[in-house]
Amino acid sequence: DTGVSQDPRHKITKRGQNVTFRCDPISEHNRLYWYRQTLGQGPEFLTYFQNEAQLEKSRLLSDRFSAERPKGSFSTLEIQRTEQGDSAMYLCASSNQRGAGNTIYFGEGSWLTVV
């Protein structure tokens, strides 16, 4: 399968613990995105990488959130000192800016439940 893959698919953690999610984008894609989705809502943009450079972070992203893409391939999203409000689906997506437009392909998401 050459789609976007995310790991783990589900994570249950206690409040205050740190969690890390991994995303492997489609191999030739230079852009990588993290979104968050809660039930009944569309995805909310969190952050965006072009190659290894993190070009934008949403104001939604508190200091407890950090994302990296060290070699311009896979990415990690870490949440420190988790809170119950962090419970959501964390979506990774990738795209390749070639030609017109910019079609974004999503992974299956990582469900986080903070108890």
List residues binding other proteins (CB under 8 A): 31, 33, 40-45, 48, 56, 91, 95, 97, 100-109
Q: How far is the CB of 81 from other proteins (least distance, A)?
A: 27
For residue 79, which of 60, 65, 63, 90 has the smallest C-alpha distance?
65
Q: How far is the CB of 33 from other proteins (least distance, A)?
A: 7
Minimum distance from CB of 70 to other proteins (Å)? Answer: 20
- In three-state secondary structure terms, 84 is helix
Distance (Å, rounded) from C-alpha 81 to C-alpha 29?
A: 31
Q: 25: cis peptide before it, omega within 30°?
A: no
d(CA 23, CA 104): 14
Q: How far is the CB of 106 from other proteins (least distance, A)?
A: 4
